[in-house]
Amino acid sequence: MSDAIIQSELLDHKANHEQKLCQILTVQELSVLNDRSNSKGLVQLAFHLTIMGCSGYLWATNFGNWSVAIPALLIYGFSLASMFASMHECVHRTAFANNRLNDSVAWFSGLLSFYNSTFFRRYHKWHHRYTRVPNKDPELTDLKPSNLGKYLLIISGLPWWWGKISGHFQVATGQFDDFPFVSEAARAEVIRSTRWQLSIYAGAIVLSIAFNQPWFFLYWLLPLLVGQPILRFILLAEHTGCTLDANLLTNTRTTLTLWPVRFFMWNMPFHAEHHLYASIPFHALPKAHQLLSKHFTHIEPGYLKVNWDIITNS
């Protein structure tokens, strides 16, 4: 049997399976959960940015007083890196009821977290369409934690930094050979968006040099370097060790964690629920968990447990 036929059968199986899964929630239950809200999204965003601003201020004004500066840097760095979660929610256009607001916040969040939302929307659409399907899901091209050394390398964030720098450069220069999920019709928009984003970074670097101040390094690059390992620690739990197939009940993990982590991650730890019903906004995922948890194979009591299992099973 040819690879093309096998792949076609895989996709047909996924489509049929997803159709059956969509019958878990009733139409009425899903309609209630799907209700998007500008106010809930704005409150979440405002609190996230407020914590980022306050921790950033403490970091900037307490050099030398390391008992304050270091915890502030950790919080600031993670709040900056976890703007990825805000972008992710907005890319799904579920953070707000207004799609223009979703798109604007997605781009701003990507700017802060070194993602590009215009590119990520296409990438992430394929990740959801082909979740854990070999040779289809773009996330499966990432480095795997197959041993302790690779695990530590992934957690360091270094492969992520290299991927983002090289990826942004490829997109900005119109090289899409490695990105089949970006259609030809979307390429001009993705290129334009990426170039604008890189221009802002370049402008921030120029201002830092012009005023002979390490602003770009101290208030963006260094905090993001600090925050990325925490984000990697969380994101590694979403699918690692789950099944390599199209079964949404077994190929994604929900991790039960502390409220601050759920807050910064916009309830993304309820990841199995999100993959099963991507239309459900962040604020309704805890309720969805109550209705769906008994159907999932992978529900873990915390990120320490998940990462320990990843290390011991690698």
Would residue 126 count as lying in a domain?
yes
* Helix (H) / strand (E) containing 290: helix 285-292
Would residue 29 count as lying in a domain?
no
pLDDT score of 23: 73
The answer on pLDDT for 7 being more than 90 is: no
Q: What angle do CA 114, 81, 116 make, to 5 degrees?
A: 25
Please say whether the beta carbons of 156 and 120 come within 8 A: no
Structure tokens at 233: 């620690």
Q: How far, in Å, CA of 287 to CA of 33, rounded?
A: 8
Q: How far, in Å, CA of 13 to CA of 246, rounded?
A: 8
The answer on pLDDT for 4 being more than 60 is: no
Domain count, the chain: 1
pLDDT band for position 3 (cuts 50, 70, 90): very low
pLDDT score of 21: 55
The answer on pLDDT for 28 being more than 80 is: yes
Residue type, 94: T
Q: What range defines the domain where residue 101 resides? A: 35-313
DSSP single-letter state for residue 254: E
Q: Report pLDDT digits (tens) over 256-276.
A: 999 999 999 999 999 999 999
| Longest CA–CA separation in the chain, Å | 67
Would residue 7 count as lying in a domain?
no
Q: What percent of the chain has pLDDT over 90?
A: 92
pLDDT score of 223: 98
With b for 16 or more beta-carbon neighbours within 10 A and e for fewer, the 228-259 pattern comes to: bbbbbbbbbbbbbebeebbbbbbbbbbbebee
Residue 209 CB coordination number (10 Å): 12
pLDDT score of 311: 96
Would residue 26 count as lying in a domain?
no
Would residue 200 count as lying in a domain?
yes
Residue 162 CB coordination number (10 Å): 10
* Helix (H) / strand (E) containing 209: helix 184-210
Would residue 4 count as lying in a domain?
no
Q: Residue 254's beta-bridge partner residues?
A: 299
Q: 299-300 and 254-255: which strand pairing?
A: parallel
Would residue 14 count as lying in a domain?
no
What average pLDDT does the segment 184-195 reach? 98
Q: What are phi and psi of 254, to 5 degrees?
A: -100, 135
Would residue 15 count as lying in a domain?
no
